[in-house]
Amino acid sequence: MIEQKLNELYSKFKNELAGVSDRAAVLNLKSLYLGKQGPITEILSNMKNLSIEERKVVGPVVNGLKEKIQQDTDAFLQKLEIEEINQSLLKNKIDLTLRDSVLTNIQNHGGAHPVWAIQREIEDVFLSMGFDIIDGPHIEDEYHNFEALNIPADHPARDMQDTFWFETEARPGKFRHLLRTHTSTIQVRGMKQRRPPFRFIAPGKVFRCERTDASHEMVFHQLEGMLVDKDVSVAHLIYFMKTLLSEIFKREVEVRLRPGFFPFVEPGFELDIKCLLCKGQGCSVCKHVGWVELLPCGLIHPNVLKSGDINPQEWNGFAFGLGLDRLVMMKYAIDDIRHIHSGDLRFVEQFKSY
Ligand code: DAH
């Protein structure tokens, strides 16, 4: 009689358990059956009215039912937990092969600035052609910036570059300090550190006290290059420059060579490329002439070789100074140099994949 009642109770519990779907409902059901007010507690408290023989039979059956309800609810809770884990894994699925989406899900990651990216690209090209990469200080003295590059104090070429001078006392025999106006300063440092034949590039920031506009900034980037060897000719120079430009633009670009004056080269040239932005039609970047000055270059002046303790009777070479910001502008069709250092995230975020 009591056994039948317990069986009915258990199948009622099983039915109700099948109908619940969340943790709170399962716990509620468990306390309904096993709690103080529940039917099992009631049966157990009524045991005192039974005979010893009856108790011996009923006791284990009731305890068995209690245990089964306990086990069933535990198993159900465990199943729920596994389902929850699976569901959250499914929802936050991460495909590790999708590099970008993973990174943007995890955090708002940064990316290489376009000037830095193009610098790395050029460094790779030159490394593959046997060049070293060297560095020099931003704060320079007028010896490295001018004097050693064949620009003595009274030379009008000093006015070609508007210079930020430091307010150091002008003392006889002492060189004044300045923010380097070009990376050519590293030519002197590089020559003194090595013996020919050698070839190196030197990228970095340069500073000019200039009024800014769409194509001028006070801080911009250059990449200096120098090759010293025997019997170097303009043909070598053109070969290296063309290789560089076609690697960067991944296509043949139209170039022209004009005579250019720079005291540290002789002959000196301006290598221009046809404006990739307006395709030669004229725009603010090319100052409406259709061509952009990109690569001033030339054969190293004997006086400069002498500054580097190199005998110009024995050795010669070429040098060039590439404007990295202009290159970025050409490559990505940016019409105002001021965007490059604006720090505007809407600008830099466009280059995140680099
Ligand atoms: N230093 C020059 C400038 O900033 C650029 C330059 C011209 C560098 C000719 C060179 C060169 O190495 O050969 O205007």
How do 198-207 and 132-133 pair as beta strands?
Answer: parallel
Say if 103 falls within a structural domain: no
Asked whether residue 27 falls in the same domain as residue 165, the answer is: no
Those residues of the chain that have pLDDT short of 70 are: 1, 98-109, 169-170, 172, 353-354
262 CA distance to ligand 1 middle (Å): 7
268 CA distance to ligand 1 middle (Å): 9
**Per-residue model confidence (pLDDT) at position 170:** 65
Q: Is 298 in the pocket of ligand 1 (CB under 6 A)?
A: yes
Say if 185 falls within a structural domain: yes
Say if 96 falls within a structural domain: no
Asked whether residue 54 falls in the same domain as residue 165, the answer is: no
**Residue linked to tokens 């440092």:** 189
Q: Would you give the DSSP letter of residue 165? A: B
Answer whether 119's CB lies under 8 Å from 224's CB. Answer: no
Helix (H) or strand (E) holding 208: none
Tally the domains of the chain. Answer: 2
**Per-residue model confidence (pLDDT) at position 243:** 86
Instruction: Centre a 10 Å sphere on the Cβ of residue 322 and count the other Cβ atoms it contains.
Output: 26
**Per-residue model confidence (pLDDT) at position 175:** 83
Asked whether residue 206 falls in the same domain as residue 311, the answer is: yes
Asked whether residue 60 falls in the same domain as residue 189, the answer is: no
Asked whether residue 210 falls in the same domain as residue 245, the answer is: yes
**Per-residue model confidence (pLDDT) at position 354:** 44
The CATH number of the domain where 189 resides is what? 3.30.930.10
Say if 263 falls within a structural domain: yes
Asked whether residue 148 falls in the same domain as residue 256, the answer is: yes
Q: Is 318 in the pocket of ligand 1 (CB under 6 A)?
A: no
Q: Is 262 in the pocket of ligand 1 (CB under 6 A)?
A: yes
**Per-residue model confidence (pLDDT) at position 120:** 94
Asked whether residue 51 falls in the same domain as residue 136, the answer is: no
User: What atom of ligand 1 comes closest to residue 187's alpha carbon?
Assistant: 12
188 CB-near residues (< 8 Å, 6+ apart):
143, 144, 148, 149, 304, 307, 308
Helix (H) or strand (E) holding 259: strand 255-259
Say if 207 falls within a structural domain: yes
**Domain of 58?**
2-91
185 CA distance to ligand 1 middle (Å): 10
Length of the chain: 354
Say if 170 falls within a structural domain: yes
Task: Report the phi/psi class of residue 274: left, alpha or beta, with left for phi > 0 and alpha for psi in -120 to 50.
Answer: beta
> Could you tell which of 297, 304, 324, 327 is best to mutate to test the pocket of ligand 1, judged by most ligand atoms within 8 Å of the CB?
297
149 CB-near residues (< 8 Å, 6+ apart):
184, 185, 187, 188, 263, 264, 304, 307
Nearest CA to ligand 1 atom 12: 320
